[in-house]
Amino acid sequence: MSDYYARQRILPEIGPEGQQRLAAARVLVVGCGALGTVQAELLTRAGVGHLIVVDRDRVDFTNLQRQLLYDPSDAQERRLKAVAAAARLRQINPGITIEPRVVSVGPRTIRGLLRGCDLVMDGTDNVETRYVLNDACVQAGLPWVYGGAVGTQGLAMAVVPGKGPCLRCAFPDPPEPGTLATCDTAGVLASAPVMVASLQVAMAIRLLVGQDEHAGRLTSLDPWAGRFHTITVPRDPACPCCGARTFPFLRASGVATATTLCGEEAVQVTPAQPITLGLPDLAARLEGAGSVDLGDDHVVFATAEHELLIFADGTVLVNGTRDLDLARSLVARFVGS
């Protein structure tokens, strides 16, 4: 393994000292999907000494178009993403520690996952978890790298608490549920998450080797249009997270509640705050992702395995499961956080 990092170590931006810093680093990758698999592979090849990969889902055939660590056998056997990813990463670089964690990331689990880490990578697929990450990392003074991709577009920004803006300085409040496109409703060009994740890893390596002067620059990209644009996000002194330090997303009450229905294979998911969904617009976005039936006060959306009965007040009845975390995940994917 003596020559594994030879081409990286001779980079003046990294050098032998930077390579040693990478080897001593402990990085948490939250999500093993399109973003997270690319992040984890590049960080593994870069020589990050301890990598923790977190995901609670299983590999599906629809993942294979863009989630680069998996192959058809993983989908066929419905392997847990974190476990399958870790196995592949160990093959790529047996000289580092890869730790899979099969857990749902939320207010109750995030602090434990952050313990002992030097940096966090955002490989999540929903807005709610990103705001939980932002609150938790700012509270802990831990740098993290935000990223998102849908359709042909993506965004990335490094957050260094105390030295620049946080996610809420750029996006003060999460978008209303049902208003944001997702990969399941709008599709995704594989190049978009791959490019976003590559940019995130470059930001992460800069931070890990001690260069944080570019923190707070928000980059948007669209590989289909060949467009890149970077802006400097100002830190907001009145930001409820890094300014007032209130951290509302770390309170479980700020997360949608999920309850199993007695005697039924179903879970009711209720939004944390009162909302009103635009059902016709939501039904239009869901077309192509499954069967859709728009009623006067509800939308029935069905995939091959589950049915979602969606009401205008944001309440969703998820039929076909008694798994609370899975029900929340389905609502986040198809309706929004």
Tell me the catalytic residues.
Answer: 183
Other CB atoms closer than 10 Å to residue 323's CB: what's the count?
A: 16
133: Cβ contacts below 8 Å, ≥ 6 apart: 30, 105, 110, 120, 122, 124, 144, 146, 167
Distance CA 297, CA 208 (A): 51
Radius of gyration of the chain (CA): 20
Distance CA 328, CA 337 (A): 9
Distance CA 197, CA 146 (A): 10
Name the token pair of 248.
């509302």
110: Cβ contacts below 8 Å, ≥ 6 apart: 132, 133, 136, 250
Helices assigned H by DSSP within 144-233? 167-170, 183-186, 191-208
Distance CA 85, CA 59 (A): 10
Name the token pair of 140.
């802990």
Name the token pair of 135.
């609150």
Residues 34 and 188 sit within 8 Å (Cβ to Cβ): yes
Residues 47 and 93 sit within 8 Å (Cβ to Cβ): yes
Residue 93 in 3-state DSSP? coil
Strand partners, 101: 54
Among 190, 159, 197, 220, residue whose Cα is nearest residue 44: 197
Residues 328 and 335 sit within 8 Å (Cβ to Cβ): no
Name the token pair of 305.
């395995």
